[in-house]
Structure 1
Amino acid sequence: MRRTAKAARRAMIAGGAAAVVVLAGCASPAAPERRDAAVEVVELTPAPAGELDRITWAVSSEPASLDWIYNADNTTGSILANVCEGLLRLAPDLSLEPALAESFDHPDATTWVYTLRDGARFHDGSPLTADDVVFSLQRHLDPAAGSFWSGAFANVASIAATGPLEVTVTLSAPDELFNAYMSSPAGIVERAATVQELGERYGTPQGGVNCIGPYAFDSWDSGQTITLVRDDDYFDPELRAKTETVEFAIVRDPAAVVNGLLSGSLDGTWEVAPSAITRLSGSGVGTVSYGPSTQGYNAIVMDPTGPLADPVVREALSMVIDRQAIIDVAIAGAGQEQRAPAVPGTWGYERDAFQAAWDDIDSATLDLDAAKELLATTTAPTEPIVLATTSAEAQTPVIGAEIQSAAAKIGLDVEISSVPVDQYYAVYTDAEARKGIDLYLTAWGTDFADPLQMYRYFETGNFYNFFGFSNPDYDALIAQAGTQSDPAERAASIVEAQRIVVDESLWIPLYAPYNTMFLNARATGAPASYVQLHSPWAAMIGAAG
């Protein structure tokens, strides 16, 4: 039945013209401004001409902990990336590069061998050892620890020190993503003695952290600031910090962030609010930069038994959303179209194969007439579709209004539910917070450039498979992709799995945002691409010429 509906819809699109849907809420005072100027996407900002004494960087929330195994939000990630390095890191072009491991070897399908840097030292002066690496990786395997990154170790059989500066990871089954995960918090290394000595104080304002990175933890004024200072003994001369002190100011009010950037009391921030892009870009105070990203912005279907239980209804809704209008207005042009959960920034290999599959996806095509005809092939829901939004993100209410308006054109009733900030983000970990929500708006991407990471979230039983989707053929394809060392073979399996997810419309893709960053005119050097969670970006910032 599903395949028949899909084939029928493709025939409709081939013979019909796309309808034009006007973005709802464009005239609202709260809506972001439209930016018509062309966006230039860059990986790096210009190189610095000198050093700075201090920069102040705005973050929108306070970390719950600086313990690396609980590092799962953007604020924590963007801070720890400068303090706690992993075995690998991301380069500005989103490729993997050595960090604490100077090299790695993959002698067979189930073995990874990491050779550690001789001379790398923790911030307390202690030398890096293989035992510290083993301890750090094994913490993710301890159920009592509750690591957010335990999934990266699902196929790990053993982790052993096979030399003073060598660690061997043995897998129970081939897993082509394991090595890439070593560039994420899953691969961070901390001194074992520090964690054991600090106990519950580890990662707190009172205990801090003791890692290896271009910056060391200095202080944490709860609710106000987290301050880092340069480590002059950092092992990598190319990434020796060009700014002596970095202060992260916790500023929850988006308007206060913009005012601070304009006044110069704040030097920079990631994820510039779309409503502020035009104002900041024309201020003369600094520059808004746009970089490539692995992120996509989606409307995620939450309830498998609600009004969006039928994939035909989900697909019809997808077809009436004006994505270009959302890009132009809701995010001020700072993004590109999205057709599937894994966006072009995730294509770290076999780009032609992924591009061909992307071009073949038509469920994100705006076509009102075809959507009406498709919806007529099934029983449309009579109860409202509850779509959650939050005031914490300026674009979310605007996007919600567009979806509501678009749905009405095919007779679907969308009810907007403005959810408190704490409850809105709780949906990731709390099933109770998801109750009563049919559609949830959020950005979601990969930690490195491989779409396989994204499509593992749709496997049966995955923690982030909120819909409860289960398809044995899909699971087999994803499992197969995880064992394929040949990039072409892996891409072919992923493309086939992607088609299943797209056909089911489990996520309604909306747009692929560029990574946005504001930097005061006195500073430069930061990468613009989406590496701020997995690379010591602050160390690259210095004085502009």
Structure 2
Amino acid sequence: MKAPRTTVRVAGALCFLLAATACTSGSGDAPTAPRAPKLTTTTPKAGGSVDQVDWNLPMGEPTTLDPAKVGDYSPSTVEANLCDPLLRLNADYSVAPGLATSWKQKDPTTLVLGLRHGVHFWNGHTMTAKDVVASLKRQGERATQSVNASLLANVKSIEATGGHQVTVTFKAPDELFLKALVNGFGAVSEAAYLDKAKASYGTAKGGLMCTGPFKLTRWKPGDSITAERNPDYWDTALKPKVKSLTFRFITDPSTLTSALLSGQIDGSYEISTSTAKAVATSDTGTVYYGPSAQTNFLTATSPTSPLADARIVKALSLVLDRDALIKNVYNGAAQKLKTFIPPLVWQNSPASAAYDKAYDALPAVPAPDVDRAKKLVTQADTARRTITVAVAAGDQQSLQTLTFLQAGAKKIGLKITIRQLQPTQMSGLFYDPSLRKGLDATMVLGYVEIPDPLSYAVQMMTPGSLFNWAEYDNKQVTALMRKAQGTLDPAETASLFTRAQARYVKDYPVLPIASPYERLFVNKRLSGLPASFAYLHMPWAAHLGGTGKGSS
């Protein structure tokens, strides 16, 4: 999920959306539709070393860098370069060996991980199976408050069965566990350091002890986070070319635009559409668009929300002109979605053809139909016609999307009230129910971390799951997804999941809107880093280096 940015004015957003009509004073000619950008997975290969890079986190300062707790853009962007996971996500969303060089499913309930030899933590201590066991087990402990705790639900035991071997025994087969090792869930920290730091682990005070290409050297709250390259990094192919990497927290899009144009900031993922347009024609650097696993959708925050009634969700879908939205809000840099899971997630699955076929068979994204939407609102059980929606303050695209939706809702007798939340509130509401009080819905810029669509769907569509705030409960969907998670055959998993997907899509538990492409800006003196959304769980800065054009 995402952390928000600083406030922008709703009036300005509305003017932007109505640029072709009332807010313009030109000849009245319809504006030319923006072209869909060319997508690239990586930027050109880097050359020489660079002394210093200043990188921005447009979603704000992380609240933690503890791998067990990173579940948002800013912390993951930093942590991915500090703490190596057992498996590594590639830029194309495929999976490769990380700290684990082998994995063998001895039987349906026994997984054996072979660990890499010769890996050292930043303090020089050798990584062993003991560290892996401690890192995984603590995610199931209540005191850790891990965002990944549910991934241990089917685990019976995690044991070191050799100096560099870990055996995981399951109560029931679980096809998601292994794939989840690509993110913070699979990141390895030193056991002794964890024991000493306890609750302060991952904070500015407690620090980290990992094996990644960069090591945390300074965290100055409210100002910056600094990481220095690890000269003893185990992956010789990814020896960092950048000596020092400083993360800044510029959340205002205009300020960030100026900093990128002046060279004060060398680059940023997740730049806004307005920033991308402003810097696209400069000679300071390059804007890259990449494949994305991001998903923009509207979801109810409680079972009493008007959006808990599928007819209200469907009615809102019918007043949302997605073509106009993608053109005006995303400047063409997004794709419509039939559901809330983007196709990139399954593209490297052995069963990708089955997922593609099932997605193609889903109902088409509806064209606007106000009359039909009005009838659905009339038929709805809820008497409430006002919907209070949370959005990240400063998230221009989500705010503009809500403004777009707000205008359509008014035509069918619904009132959308927009409540902008500041960074800690917006990020926290995904995990703290108390922060959802007084809200009916939230505009989500979520993302699928694991290269398996089931991983996100179970969090949204099963009773008691992390993000099923409306308490959606379709027993057929639940049974199919549980069975899908319990089979280790990719074809069977795909068959079961897509049957569940076909069912919950009809139920309209959430309103899918679009999947924005990844937007990256990098200074002309730098190159080499991934341009796809996979950066969030890759050691992306280890790919970064100079181009020879002003690099140091």
Same fold (TM over 0.5): yes
Aligned equivalents of 1:302, 1:207: Cα separation in 2: 34
**Given the alignment, which residue of 51, 56, 59 partners 1:58?**
56
- 1:196 aligned to 2:198? no
Supply the distance in 1 between the matched residues of 2:382 and 2:145 (Cα, whole angstroms).
42
Q: Match of 1:10? A: none
Name the CA shift for 1:204/1:388 in 2 (closer, same or farther; >3 Å): closer
Q: How much does 1:374 deviate?
A: 4.7
2:443 corresponds to which residue?
441
- Give the conservation status (yes or no) of the 8 Å contact 1:315–1:363: no
1:69-80 correspondence runs (5 A): 69-80=68-79
1:519 aligns with 2:522: yes
1:452 aligned onto 2:454: yes
Q: One-letter code of the match for 1:40?
A: K
Q: Pairwise mapping of residues 172-211 of structure 1 onto structure 2 (< 5 A)?
A: 172-211=171-210
The answer to whether the 8 A contact 2:390-2:443 is kept is: yes
- Equivalent residue for 2:413? 411
Q: Is the 8 A contact 2:197 2:206 kept in 1?
A: yes
The percentage of counterpart residues that share the same residue type is 35
2:353 match: 352
Cα deviation for residue 499 of structure 1 reads: 1.9
Shift of 1:379: 5.9
Q: CA deviation at 1:392?
A: 2.0
Give the equivalent residue in structure 2 for 1:145.
Answer: 144
In structure 2, the CA distance between the partners of 1:185 and 1:322, relative to structure 1 (3 Å rule), is: same
SS of equivalent to 1:44 = coil
Give the deviation of 1:410 after TM superposition.
2.8
What residue in structure 2 maps to residue 48 of structure 1? 46
Match of 1:542 among 530, 541, 545: 545
Amino acid at match of 1:447: E
Cα distance, 1:34–1:535 mapped onto 2, change above 3 Å? farther
- The answer for the alignment partner of 2:480 in structure 1 is 477
The corresponding residue for 1:228 is: 227
Give the drift of 1:100: 0.6
Deviations 1:1-51 (A, max 9, x none): xxxxxxxxxxxxxxxxxxxxx99544699xxx9971330111110001222
For residues 432 and 503 of structure 1, what CA distance do their matches in structure 2 show?
30
1: CA distance, partners of 2:538 / 2:529: 11
Query: For 1:298-313, what aligned pairs fall within 5 Å after superposition?
Result: 298-313=297-312
For residues 174 and 216 of structure 1, do their structure 2 counterparts lie closer, same or farther at Cα, with a shift above 3 Å needed?
same
Query: Displacement, 1:416?
Result: 2.9
Deviation digits for residues 125-170 of structure 1 (CA, Å, limit 9, x no counterpart) = 1111111111111111212222221111111110111111111111
SS of the residue 2:53 aligns to: strand
RMSD: 2.2
Instruction: Work out the number of aligned pairs and report it.
Output: 522
> Distance between the aligned counterparts of 1:128 and 1:283, measured in 2?
46
Residues 1:223 and 1:419: Cα distance change in structure 2 (over 3 Å): closer
User: What residue number does 2:103 align with?
Assistant: 104
Supply the AA of the counterpart residue of 1:485: L
C-alpha contact (below 8 Å) 2:173/2:485 kept by paired residues? yes
Counterparts of 1:176-325 in structure 2, within 5 Å, are 176-325=175-324
Higher mean C-alpha displacement, 232-241 vs 357-366: 357-366
Q: Cα distance 1:253–1:163, how it changes in 2: closer, same or farther (>3 A)?
A: same
Q: Is the Cα–Cα contact under 8 Å of residues 294 and 345 in structure 1 kept in the other structure?
A: yes
- Ranges in structure 2 where 5+ consecutive residues have no aligned partner: 1-14, 24-30
What is the CA distance between 1:532 and its match in structure 2?
2.2
Q: Which runs of 5+ in 1 are unaligned?
A: 1-21
Matches of 1:446 and 1:355, distance apart in 2: 17
Q: Match for residue 463 of structure 1?
A: 466
Q: What is the identity, as a one-letter code, of the residue corresponding to 1:51? A: S
Letter matched to residue 540 of structure 2: W
Q: Is the 8 A contact 2:61 2:222 kept in 1?
A: yes
Instruction: Specify the alignment match of 1:337 in structure 2.
Output: 336
Structure 1 counterpart of 2:428, which letter?
Answer: A
Task: Give the TM-score normalised by the residue count of structure 1.
Answer: 0.91
User: Residue 255 of structure 2 aligns to a residue in which SS?
Assistant: helix
Deviations 1:312-342 (A, max 9, x none): 2221221221112111111222211111011
How far apart are the structure 1 equivalents of 2:224 and 2:377?
A: 52
For residue 476 of structure 1, give the secondary structure of its aligned residue in structure 2: helix
Q: Which amino acid aligns with 2:412?
A: I
Displacement of 1:495:
1.1
Bigger CA drift: 385-394 or 87-96? 385-394
Aligned residue in 2 for 1:133: 132
